[in-house]
């Protein structure tokens, strides 16, 4: 079924009527349908919408091109559409954010603070290299998981992002760099698998509407029970990255409060199902925290857990945040840990984060001061 006007997303406006007995005014809530923004909608849905508006079907394809290729912010900008109709629908929401702040790190990484239509501010990061332009996208405003080493986790949580708010981040970076985005990592603010439906819809839109290969998209999760399997059932070709960060349950719980309700063995078993269902290997992310999870016994324990697993380990040296006092490991320590894993036959690489200087690196994204005050405390 085609539905651009969602039944479930309703805005309530308050009307008042007069109580016939007391004569006083009573407030009543009337539900009004809210228009779902056009960004993130497929060409089929956009076609259905223009037809619903009494326009010829071919205008759906035109609208699609103007939204995804020309980056319009109002239908009024679509000069190939009749003036009269443009005037009628000029305020129909497209769903684009506004650039609130932009900063460039010396290594070329660009951090964007984007203001959403409801005033919340989220972060996205553009990471260029000669061959690629990678966008690190947010999936939530803040994050409720409360991981102890993560600035986002310390900053509170407001809500999930809508599909169009995720797609918008990619279009914004693409337009700003003036070159095509090649890769996406869901490693910005938030836990993508607490927002699986919108993340999956965004992946499909990024793939079909913007033309980014599914294999170029990585969804990173700390693990939400049942949701890795749900993602696998979508039969996408995306890469799943699981934030492990510890070689045993006790240490993991210390770093990630939610791990208490999701034992390491259950998480790994769900990851094995993912490999079985999708035929794709899993990446395990492991933040290396000096003197905490970087000793030879941890490497050995990790190697034992992952033996025979179709996977790849990504070591991320901890990026210090002001809210926690973990230490960044020395290069030598990271190299030794890498070698210990390699010796045990584990596929491993080290990821040195870009954009550290601008607070644009992994785990550094936090809501701006203006937005933080509206966030609720974290669960952890």
Q: Is 3 annotated as a binding residue?
A: no
Chain residues 124-153 in contact with ligand SAH, contact rule CB under 6 A: 149-150
In whole angstroms, give the CA distance from residue 208 to residue 285: 28
Tell me if residue 305 is catalytic. no
Given the structure tokens 């996205």, which residue do they identify? 124
243 binds ligand SAH (CB under 6 A): yes
Max distance between CA atoms of the chain, in angstroms, equals 83
Of the candidate residues 47, 152, 163, 218, the single one contacting ligand SF4 (CB under 6 A): 152
Residue 183, strand partner residues: 134
Return the number of the residue (145 or 302) whose C-beta is nearest ligand SF4: 145
Stretch that binds ligand SF4, among 35-43, 79-87, 147-155, 225-233 (CB under 6 A): 147-155
Per partner kind, with CB cut-offs from 5 to 8 A, the member of ligand SAH, ligand SF4, none near residue 316 is: ligand SAH
Strand partners, 20: none
Alpha helices by DSSP H, 243-355: 249-255, 264-278, 296-306, 331-343
**Region 179-198 residues binding ligand SF4, contact defined as CB under 6 A:** 190-191
User: What three-state secondary structure class fits 376?
Assistant: strand
- Does the footprint of ligand SAH cover residue 319 (CB under 6 A)? yes
Q: Is 274 in the site for ligand SAH (CB under 6 A)?
A: no
What are the tokens at 14?
Answer: 């308050």
Chain centre distance of CA 214: 15
**Distance between CA 342 and CA 312 in Å, rounded?**
11
Task: Kindly state whether residue 218 participates in binding ligand SAH, applying the rule CB under 6 A.
Answer: no
CB 327 within 8 A of CB 289: yes
The answer to whether residue 271 is catalytic is no
Binds ligand SF4 (CB under 6 A): choice among 150, 181, 244, 348: 150
Structure tokens at 13: 């406006």
Please report, in range form, the residues annotated as the binding site for [4Fe-4S] cluster: 143, 147, 150
Return the active site residues. Answer: 123, 362
Q: Provide the binding-site residues for ligand SAH, judged by CB under 6 A.
A: 149-150, 187, 191, 220-222, 243, 285, 287, 316, 318-319, 321, 362-363
């Amino acid at each position: 079924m085609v539905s651009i006007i969602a039944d479930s997303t309703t805005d309530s406006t308050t009307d008042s009527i007069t109580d016939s007995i007391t004569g006083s005014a009573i407030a009543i809530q009337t539900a009004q349908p809210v228009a779902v923004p056009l960004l993130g909608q497929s060409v089929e849905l956009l076609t259905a919408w223009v037809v619903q508006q009494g326009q010829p079907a071919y205008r759906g394809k035109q609208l699609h091109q103007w939204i995804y290729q020309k980056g319009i912010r109002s239908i009024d900008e679509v000069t190939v559409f009749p003036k009269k109709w443009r005037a009628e629908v000029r305020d129909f929401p497209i769903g684009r954010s506004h650039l609130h702040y932009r900063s460039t790190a010396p290594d070329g990484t660009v951090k964007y603070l984007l203001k959403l239509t409801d005033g919340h501010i989220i972060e996205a990061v553009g990471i260029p290299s000669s061959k690629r332009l990678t966008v690190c996208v947010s999936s939530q405003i803040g994050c409720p998981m409360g991981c102890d080493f993560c600035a986002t986790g310390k900053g509170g949580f407001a809500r999930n992002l809508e599909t169009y708010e995720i797609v918008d981040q990619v279009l914004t970076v693409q337009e700003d760099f003036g070159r095509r985005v090649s890769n996406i990592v869901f490693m910005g603010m938030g836990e993508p698998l607490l927002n699986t439906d919108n993340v999956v819809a965004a992946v499909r839109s990024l793939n079909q509407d913007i033309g980014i290969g599914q294999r170029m998209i990585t969804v990173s999760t700390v693990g939400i029970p049942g949701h890795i399997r749900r993602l696998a059932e979508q039969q996408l070709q995306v890469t799943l990255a699981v934030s492990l960060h510890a070689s045993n349950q006790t240490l993991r719980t210390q770093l990630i409060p939610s791990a208490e309700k999701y034992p390491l063995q259950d998480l790994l078993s769900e990851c094995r199902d993912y490999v079985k269902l999708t035929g794709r290997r899993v990446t395990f992310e492991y933040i290396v925290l000096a003197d905490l999870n970087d000793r030879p016994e941890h490497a050995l324990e990790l190697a034992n857990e992952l033996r025979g697993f179709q996977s790849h380990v990504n070591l991320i040296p901890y990026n210090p945040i002001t809210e926690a006092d973990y230490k960044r490991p020395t290069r030598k320590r990271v190299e030794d840990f890498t070698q210990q894993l390699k010796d045990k036959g584990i596929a491993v690489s080290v990821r040195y984060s870009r954009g550290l200087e601008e607070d644009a690196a992994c785990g550094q994204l936090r809501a701006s001061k203006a937005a933080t005050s509206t966030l609720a405390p974290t669960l952890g």
